[in-house]
Amino acid sequence: MPVVNIIDKQNNPVGEITLPEEIFSVEVRPEILHQVVKAQLAAKRAGTVGVKNRSRIRGGGRKPWRQKGTGRARAGSVRSPLWAGGAVTHGPQMRDYSLKVNKKVKRLALRMALSAKLSEQALLVVDDMSMSTHKTKDFVQIQNALSLEKGLIVVPKKDNNLSLGSRNVPGIKVIDENQVGVYDILNSNKVVLTPQVVEHIQERLQ
């Protein structure tokens, strides 16, 4: 089983933790990761844009003028796409972009993403990421000590001071343990976990 150091916010080792092989030493298959990341990004699309066609637009029930004898072109409705204020032809419609992915595949992809970060030595286990203040300069000191240029920080529960201190720092994202996803892990250069988060992930993926 892989063993990694537990460090503090100043990057000093304070202990060790053994990570389960079935979660952090899984063979990475790019096609699985691609499938899950594609589904996660598709789920973020709103799909709420939509224009009215002739069946949905208001008015236009009466024929504007008689069919023949006026010298004008034939017209059956004032809501024709050819008229101002009329309907739109072949316009965008509301749709659901979500893709179905089996739960087992999602869990497997999460194991692969964590395993990939561990193999790249981009997985840090910090004993405690809480902050006593919400000042950005205090968080920047922690960021510099841990070398987090583009990092994902996963904490057991929401920490207001940590969230406020890091929200103006580019490249840093703070989430709680229930929000861990494959895309966020792969989209970061380093992933920071706490021992409590590791335990939660182990229970979640077993």
| Tens-place pLDDT, residues 106-143 | 999 999 999 999 999 999 999 989 888 899 999 999 99
pTM for the structure as a whole: 0.81
Nearest Cα neighbor of 53 from 77, 80, 75 is 80
Question: What pLDDT, in 10s, does the model give residues 76-92?
Answer: 898 999 998 889 999 89
Tell me the per-residue pLDDT of 135-189, one tens digit each, with 9 for 90 and over.
Answer: 999 999 999 999 898 999 999 988 899 999 999 999 999 999 899 999 999 999 9
pLDDT, position 140: 93
Residue 63 CA to residue 85 CA, distance in Å, equals 16
User: Is the CB of residue 92 less than 8 Å from the CB of residue 51?
Assistant: yes
Model pLDDT, residue 6? 93
DSSP assignment of the chain: --EEEEE-TTS-EEEEEEPPHHHHSPPP-HHHHHHHHHHHHHHT---------TTTSS---S-SS-SSSSSSPP-S-TT-TTSTT---TT------------HHHHHHHHHHHHHHHHHTT-EEEES----SS--HHHHHHHHHHHT-SSEEEEESS--HHHHHHHTTSTTEEEEEGGG--HHHHHTSSEEEE-HHHHHHHHHHH-
- Ordered domains of the chain (ranges, CATH): 3-45+98-205 (3.40.1370.10), 47-96 (no CATH)
Q: How far apart are CA 143 and CA 166, in angstroms?
A: 9
